[in-house]
């Protein structure tokens, strides 16, 4: 589970070619998808292709961490998905249509059993629930904070399935921004992730041809507190990685803040660049520096 979560690139699990391309795209995490991007008639074939791909890319040799999005936990396909891929050591499992912490706990129990049964050692898979895809799920977001879920690695949200669940004809308002209901759910996901001390992942940006729009949206999400974003095309990865990394100016400022507090000793406020800063600013600077990617050092 360790490592950055800036970019999470989806690839359909029934295509060797697309999985291979995704693995070379430079994403922090590649999501091998067995759910929505795979037609029902191809689920079994996708399982076999994905399992073979994992087996051919053992954890120690992966350029990106591998996450498998299984089918919803209340469908029979979910256990078949897990039985196929867990022997080959995925780093993460994405759980769609999660109803709340109880679903994550249930999935954790399945993973405990399947990991114990495998013949080769592999990573202990973390879990990323898509925590807002049903009408009831947003009401459970606050419960993640006290659920003590060891495998919980991140929370993300989805607008498309939620729109379907609500009977909405669109998830956008007249200006093209998220409609009120979806802005509310997005904000709640961010707060739930912070309360649970896990990573907050922004949902996808649909138009993969609009790089300027992707960058603007991603920088806004980063400024708001999100740690990374889902990508639906390899061409989005570089822009997302850059957008969810602190700028050189931000890194330099954070270092000056930390240095100023260190020089002041046991002090709750310091002056930096003509501004009075207190301990929350120090915590923010330390968090930013802790998340500087190795290529920025």
Question: Based on the domain organization, do 36 and 88 belong to the same domain?
Answer: yes
Would 292 be classed as within a structural domain?
yes
Domain holding 198, by residue range, is 7-243
Distances (CA, A) of 25 to 20, 112, 148, 164, 219: 9, 31, 34, 31, 20
The CA radius of gyration of the chain, in Å to the nearest whole number, is 20
Question: Based on the domain organization, do 197 and 152 belong to the same domain?
Answer: yes
Question: Based on the domain organization, do 137 and 275 belong to the same domain?
Answer: no
Question: Based on the domain organization, do 123 and 165 belong to the same domain?
Answer: yes
Q: Which pLDDT belongs to residue 96?
A: 98
Would 1 be classed as within a structural domain?
no
Q: Which pLDDT belongs to residue 1?
A: 58
Would 66 be classed as within a structural domain?
yes
- Under the banding of pLDDT at 50, 70 and 90, the label for residue 284 is confident
Distances (CA, A) of 195 to 148, 189, 267: 12, 10, 27
Question: Based on the domain organization, do 284 and 146 belong to the same domain?
Answer: no
Percent of the chain with pLDDT over 90: 80
Q: Which pLDDT belongs to residue 91?
A: 97
Count of the separate structural domains present in the chain: 2
* Position 285 pLDDT exceeds 70: yes
- The residue written with tokens 């992707």 in the block is 214
Question: Based on the domain organization, do 141 and 262 belong to the same domain?
Answer: no
pTM of the predicted structure, to 2 decimals: 0.91
Strand 275-278 to 269-272 pairing: antiparallel
Q: CATH number of the domain that 158 lies in?
A: 3.20.20.60
* Position 149 pLDDT exceeds 70: yes
Question: Based on the domain organization, do 230 and 262 belong to the same domain?
Answer: no
Question: Based on the domain organization, do 211 and 259 belong to the same domain?
Answer: no
CA distance 283 to 279: 6
Take residue 90 and report the two structure tokens written for it: 């995925």
Question: Based on the domain organization, do 272 and 254 belong to the same domain?
Answer: yes
Distances (CA, A) of 251 to 2, 93, 270, 278: 21, 32, 18, 18
Question: Based on the domain organization, do 16 and 163 belong to the same domain?
Answer: yes
- Which of 243, 262, 277 terminates a domain? The answer is 243
Would 256 be classed as within a structural domain?
yes
Contact predicate 39/71, CB 8 Å? no
Contact predicate 149/140, CB 8 Å? no
Express each pLDDT in 109-146 by its tens digit.
999 999 999 887 778 999 999 999 999 999 999 999 99
Express each pLDDT in 199-237 by its tens digit.
999 999 999 999 999 999 999 999 999 999 999 999 999
Angle between the N-to-C axes of helices 76-85 and 101-117, in degrees from 0 to 180, rounded to the nearest 10: 40
CA distance 110 to 104: 10
CA distance 194 to 215: 23
Q: Which pLDDT belongs to residue 296?
A: 67
- Under the banding of pLDDT at 50, 70 and 90, the label for residue 78 is very high
CA distance 200 to 192: 8
Would 56 be classed as within a structural domain?
yes
Report the chain's mean pLDDT, rounded to a whole number: 94
Question: Based on the domain organization, do 265 and 125 belong to the same domain?
Answer: no
Q: Which pLDDT belongs to residue 258?
A: 92
With vertex at residue 108, the alpha carbon angle to CA 106 and CA 113, rounded to the nearest 5 degrees, is 100
Would 95 be classed as within a structural domain?
yes
CA distance 66 to 131: 20
The 8-class DSSP code of residue 6 comes to: S
Would 2 be classed as within a structural domain?
no
Tell me the average pLDDT across 9-36. Answer: 97
Question: Based on the domain organization, do 217 and 273 belong to the same domain?
Answer: no
The 8-class DSSP code of residue 179 comes to: P
Query: Dihedral through CA 68, CA 69, CA 70, CA 74, nearest 10?
Result: 150
Strand 65-69 to 228-231 pairing: unpaired
């Amino acid at each position: 589970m360790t490592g950055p979560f800036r970019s999470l690139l989806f690839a359909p699990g029934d295509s060797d070619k697309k999985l291979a391309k995704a693995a070379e795209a430079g994403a922090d995490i590649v999501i091998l998808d067995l759910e929505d991007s795979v037609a029902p008639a191809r689920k079994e074939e996708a399982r076999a292709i994905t399992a073979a791909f994992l087996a051919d890319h053992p954890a120690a040799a992966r350029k990106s961490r591998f996450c498998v999005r299984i089918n919803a936990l209340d469908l029979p396909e979910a256990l078949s998905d897990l039985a196929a891929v867990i022997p080959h050591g995925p780093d993460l499992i994405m759980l769609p249509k999660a109803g709340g912490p109880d679903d994550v706990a249930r999935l954790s129990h399945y993973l405990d059993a399947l990991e114990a049964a495998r013949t080769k050692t592999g990573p202990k898979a973390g879990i990323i629930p898509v925590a807002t895809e049903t009408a009831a799920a947003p009401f459970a977001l606050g419960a993640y904070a006290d659920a003590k879920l060891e495998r919980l690695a991140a929370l993300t949200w989805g607008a498309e399935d939620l729109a379907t669940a609500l009977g909405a004809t669109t998830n956008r308002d007249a200006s093209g921004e998220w409609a009120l209901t979806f802005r509310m759910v997005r904000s709640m996901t961010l707060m739930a992730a912070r309360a649970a001390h896990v990573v907050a992942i922004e949902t996808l940006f649909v138009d993969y041809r609009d790089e300027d729009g992707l960058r603007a949206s991603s920088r806004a999400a980063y400024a708001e507190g999100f740690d990374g974003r889902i990508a639906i095309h390899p061409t989005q990865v570089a822009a997302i990685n850059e957008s969810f990394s602190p700028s050189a100016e931000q890194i330099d400022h954070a270092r000056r803040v930390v240095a100023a507090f260190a020089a002041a000793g046991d002090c709750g406020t310091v002056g930096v660049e003509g501004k009075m800063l207190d301990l929350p600013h120090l915590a923010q600077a330390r968090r930013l520096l802790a998340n500087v990617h190795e290529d920025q050092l």
